[in-house]
Amino acid sequence: MENIHGVIFDLDGTLVESAPLYREALVIALQNCQICLDTPQLENLLSSMNLVEDLKLLSVEDEIAQHIAQLRDELVYAIFSERVDWIEGAENIVNTTKARIPIGLVTSAWTKTVDAVHRRLGIKNIFKVIIDGNSVHGRYKPDPYGLQLAAQLLDLPPKNLLYVGDSETDVVAASAAGIRSCLLNRNAHTDSFKLSADYCAHSWQEFGKLLEAAE
């Protein structure tokens, strides 16, 4: 990790344990409208960037789809504000990295979700730059736009930045932006995409050792 002058972090699944909370909010919203889905359908909706349109593809009426999306968003804000938490070791890494070099956050989560995480964990007081899903005008990862924007705001060349994320989308976006990537591979994925990441760490403790070795 030579010549790393700034680090950009992903949020969901990288810094915070959010997947169970998103699932809880969506399931409650669906149950409220008596919508029953099988597991593959639910998984697809959990990764949806346009819940209303994807619900309509499942033959849910527009008015009901709108209601489900609104209720899901309200539940996400309430649940995250009360219960979202750092992944083990993440808070320490973020703070120790910030003490040495500039740090940013690039996430596909909506502004309201980021606000909820801030309400609980104070993330807006930590990161110099935060780019969320509302900031990229529909150009979500793996499009590199969010990372390119973060690099501009951090005033650092992409080649001197590192992006840390937990998914193939993060690795691909970083590569397209000319930024080195570190895959936080906490669940020991065997997917081939981890081979395309510049670095791989199985925990935040391991990532910390990689970063220290680069100094």
Q: Hey, which residues are catalytic here?
A: 10
Residue identified by tokens 């969320």 is 132
Give the residues across from 74 on adjacent strands: none
